[in-house]
Amino acid sequence: MDLGIRGKRGLVCAASKGLGRGCAEALAAAGVDLVINSRTEADIVRTAEEIAARHGVAVTPVAADITTEAGRAAVLDALGQADILVTNAGGPPPGNWQDWSRDDFIRALDANMLSAVALMQALVPGMMERGWGRVVNITSQSVRAPIPVLGLSNSARAGLTGFVAGMSRQVARHGVNVNNLLPGIHATDRADGLDRGVSQAQGISMDEARAQRKATIPAGAYGTAEDFGATCAFLCSQHARFIVGQNILLDGGATNLTI
């Protein structure tokens, strides 16, 4: 299917690996020129070279922490304007609800709510002026069904979800579609870290921890960054014109919900 976005310009945050990279690969395959970002310079430069070589689009790497004002300024500087924005950042650490301090919450809010809000505030007005734009925020299945040990993530992402629910309906008439993608368990470094947490907490091997988590997924496997990226690219396509303010769960059926 032709996604109809060849020649558009996009920003994908936190994209040297994992889900962000999956989104960058799929957008590049659809012909989108990209600015991609993550903190580790060698990784983001290598990723940009690989994506550009594979898909024949322009890919500019920016090594910066997207959760800081200075990091976002560096990324926006390299970007100029954008037709497509994919927000993403690392997820907060697991823990216990009694232990989280105000500073822990502020860090989580900066990473998983306020940096996405700031990027939308910077880029969506230009999209509205030009009459076309797509925004995909990578959030989490924890928005639909909380994961108790990830209370910092549950809290910050719920805040972003509430913001998007309102603003997506204010900008849609200008041709800008804002939606959220909610990953369940995908085979990335983040999933390895969470598997390790289960393995340590229960005194079981990594393989046993993975098997235990896999058994919770009706589809019978972890998702992949490629699956995730393909859905993101569709949401950024011309075909997604009528999809506004939605929270799309990609979890292999793991969240037990009727709607």
Identity of the residue, 20 or 171, whose beta carbon is nearer to ligand NAP in the bound complex: 20
Segment interacting with ligand NAP, rule: CB under 6 A, options 86-94, 165-173, 199-207, 229-237: 86-94
Interface with ligand NAP, residue 154, by CB under 6 A? no
Under rule CB under 6 A, residue 90 binds ligand NAP: yes
> Do 13 and 87 meet the contact criterion of CB atoms below 8 Å apart?
yes
Contact between 137 and ligand NAP by CB under 6 A: the answer reads: no
Out of 186, 227, 237, 245, the residue judged to bind ligand NAP by CB under 6 A: 186
SS (H, E, C) 221-257: CCECHHHHHHHHHHHCCHHHCCCCCCEEEECCCCCCC
> To 10 degrees, what angle do helices 206-214 and 189-202 make?
110
Which residues on neighbouring strands pair with residue 35, listed in sequence order?
Answer: 11, 60
Complete edge-to-edge strand list for the sheet that includes strand 247-250: 59-63, 33-38, 9-12, 84-87, 133-138, 176-183, 247-250
Alpha carbons 6 and 32: distance in angstroms, whole number: 5
Q: Is the dihedral of CA 146, 147, 152, 156 positive or negative?
A: negative
Q: Does 140 bind ligand NAP (CB under 6 A)?
A: yes
- Per rule CB under 6 A, is residue 237 in the interface with ligand NAP? no
By CB under 6 A, is residue 254 in contact with ligand NAP?
no
Alpha carbon 46 to chain centroid distance?
20
Contact between 43 and ligand NAP by CB under 6 A: the answer reads yes
Out of 3, 10, 16, 118, point to the residue binding ligand NAP (CB under 6 A): 16
DSSP H/E element including 94? none
Give min distance, CB of 248 to ligand NAP, in A: 13
Give how far the C-alpha of residue 68 lies from the chain's centroid of Cα atoms, to the nearest Å.
Answer: 17
Residue closer to ligand NAP by CB (options 66, 171) is: 66
Element (H, E) at 17: none
Q: How far is the CB of 163 from ligand NAP (least distance, A)?
A: 16
Query: Can you tell me which of 65, 83, 195, 227 binds ligand NAP, judged by CB under 6 A?
Result: 65
Contact region for ligand NAP (CB under 6 A) — 3-11, 27-35, 53-61, 88-96?
88-96
Per rule CB under 6 A, is residue 36 in the interface with ligand NAP?
no
Give the pairing of strands 33-38 and 9-12.
parallel
Stretch that binds ligand NAP, among 2-10, 118-126, 137-145, 199-207 (CB under 6 A): 137-145
Residue 177 beta carbon to ligand NAP: minimum distance, rounded to whole angstroms: 21
207 is a site residue for ligand NAP (CB under 6 A): no
- Please give the residue ranges that form the binding site for ligand NAP (CB under 6 A): 14-20, 37-40, 43, 65-67, 88-91, 138, 140-141, 183, 185-186, 188-191
